[in-house]
Chains A and B, each alone.
Chain A
Amino acid sequence: MSARVPDQPTCRQIVELVTDYLEGKLPLRERTLFEQHLVYCDWCRVYLEQMRQTIRAAGEVPEEALDPERREELLQVFRRWKAKK
């Protein structure tokens, strides 16, 4: 984040590490530097939260209801299987 301390990760690097961080796959040193960056970078904290929100929203994408015709077809499959069993 600073020209003076070049071994600290930049925001541009942080956004590429977010998934490894959330997956618990960052090596220890990187994980520590990642979290220390978050301490002083509000914007990367917002970015991390947006990635979490994106994941949460994906989990809410609604399921389509099963139409009755399809249900009937599947019941036929089931009954045939049961008869042969």
Chain B
Amino acid sequence: MSSVAGHPEEIDLIAALRRGDEAAFLTLVRSCQSSMSRVARLFVSSDAVAEEVVQETWLAVLQGIAAFEGRSSVRSWILSIVANRARSRGQREARSAPFSSFDDAEDEPAVDPARFLPSDHPRWPGHWAAPPERWADEKLLAKETLGLMRKAIETLPPAQRQVIVLRDIEGCSAEEVCATLGVSDGNQRVLLHRARSRVRAMLEPHLGGPV
């Protein structure tokens, strides 16, 4: 998903959809469905509800395609629709706290403070005491690591999980995430920072390093 305007490669696809071309529809379903489920699941309490939201979204997409202006990619447009729908559904379910309250604002450090020399160290205060170790790329992209990654993301507080899934798994831009979640650029970045830092820390024992 990119935020570049125009997307000439999608013009044919959009035209085919508007004509009611079933093959074009299935192409779009294949490329978006699993991301849509993932995004919907960020806001609602069960897979079943997420699937309902996704289904409704497809209808909304078909009804809206005639008016789609191509300011973002089709995929990005669809993901923002599914996120918005799932978000209001989630609020009705009263599961997720309103996002704007920025609930998990407690000041959590990116790295365990015990891994640094104390701030009154006479030579190197705040310097690494237990430094990170290099991770091998092969192990990083192994199935086991990616599974661990998925689990790590599931343990995050909802706001952090929403941001990291949209940004790093679905590849949305910062602007798209701010618009979809209704947060400021600064808050988006704080949430992203906490989420990425936590996930890194959770991968560390598996990929090599202290703790």
A residues in contact (CB < 8 Å) with B: 1-3, 10-13, 15-16, 18-20, 23, 25, 41, 43-44, 46-47, 49-51, 53-66, 70-71, 73-75, 77-79, 81-82, 85
Contact = CB atoms under 8 A, between A and B. Distances in A.
Given A49-B134, A55-B168, A61-B146, A77 B55 contact: yes
A3 B110 contact: no
Given A63-B34, A77-B59, A78-B22, A12 B141 contact: no
B145 A2 contact: no
B: interface residue count bin: 35 or more
Given A1-B124, A3-B123, A19-B189, A53 B140 contact: yes
Contact of B125 (A10, A44, A49): A10
Interface in B12-54: 20, 22, 25-26, 29-30, 33-35, 37, 51
Interface in B155-210: 164, 168-169, 171, 174, 189, 192-193, 196-197, 199-200, 203-204
A85 B20 contact: yes
Given A23-B174, A71-B29, A51 B196 contact: yes
A42 B99 CA distance: 38
Listed from nearest, the 8 A-B pairs whose CB atoms lie closest are: A10-B126, A58-B168, A19-B193, A43-B131, A63-B34, A12-B126, A82-B20, A81-B62
Contact of B168 (A2, A44, A59): A59
B132 interface: yes
Contacts of B35: 63
A13 B116 CA distance: 10
Contacts of A25: 189
Nearest to B204: A50
B128 interface: yes
Contacts of A15: 109-111, 197
Nearest to B37: A64
20 contacts: A1-B126, A10-B126, A11-B116, A11-B126, A12-B109, A12-B116, A12-B126, A12-B127, A49-B134, A50-B200, A53-B140, A54-B196, A54-B199, A61-B146, A61-B149, A70-B33, A73-B55, A74-B58, A81-B59, A82-B20
Contacts of A61: 146, 149-150, 169
A75 B22 contact: yes
Interface in B102-155: 109-111, 113, 116, 121-128, 131-135, 137, 140-141, 145-146, 149-150, 153
